[in-house]
């Protein structure tokens, strides 16, 4: 079961696109034998760069801050009956500025930006392991 919030599922799609690009490179350069892990590593490194770019340039435009709401203190109407409390936007008591919370996209409870390093690290590992195995073989 995949658990994500907001745009976290795009990590999987970007990583799959990177692996697809690596597979395409592997098919194009099929004459160079034994370098499939290197090509998939390059694809995952590019996917890591794509996740970073998406996190820094696209997500801030898509995920606007959400106002922090609190319940207003109970009041009494003109006949002395209690009026139900309603949510109002919270303000900072020191500055008087309204409070907002930042939204966060996650995959498996890991923030979107951290996946840059996970996917890129796996790509670098595949790249190095594939290069070493092709040199040894």
Query: What pLDDT shows up at residue 125?
Result: 95
| Mean pLDDT value of segment 72-90 | 87
Give the integer Cα–Cα distance in Å for 125 and 14: 18
Calculate the CA 111 to chain-centre distance: 5
Structural tokens at position 17? 């696109």
Structure confidence by residue, pLDDT tens digits, 44-68? 999 999 999 999 999 888 878 888 8
pLDDT cut 90: percent of the chain above it: 39
Annotated domain spans of the chain: 21-62+110-137
Query: What pLDDT shows up at residue 26?
Result: 87
Query: What pLDDT shows up at residue 124?
Result: 95
| Mean pLDDT value of segment 18-25 | 92
Closest to 25 in 3D by CA, of 10, 12, 44, 11: 44
Give the integer Cα–Cα distance in Å for 124 and 19: 13
**Does pTM surpass 0.85?**
no
CB 84 within 8 A of CB 77: no
Q: Can you give 16-54 as a three-state secondary structure string?
A: HHHHHHHHHHHHHCCCCCCCHHHHHHHHHHHHHHHHHHH
Q: Rg of the chain over CA atoms, in angstroms?
A: 24
């Amino acid at each position: 079961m995949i658990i994500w919030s907001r745009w976290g599922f795009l990590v999987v799609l970007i990583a799959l696109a990177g692996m697809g690009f690596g597979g395409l490179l592997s098919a194009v350069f099929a004459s160079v034998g034994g370098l499939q892990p290197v090509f998939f590593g390059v694809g995952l490194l590019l996917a890591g760069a794509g996740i970073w770019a998406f996190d820094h340039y696209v997500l801030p435009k898509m995920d606007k801050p959400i106002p922090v709401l609190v319940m207003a203190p109970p009041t009494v109407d003109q006949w002395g009956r209690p009026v139900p409390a309603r949510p109002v936007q919270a303000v900072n008591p020191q500055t008087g500025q309204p409070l907002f919370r930042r939204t966060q996209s996650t995959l498996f409870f890991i923030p979107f930006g951290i996946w840059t390093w996970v996917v890129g690290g796996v790509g670098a590992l595949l790249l190095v392991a594939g290069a070493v195995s092709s040199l040894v073989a």
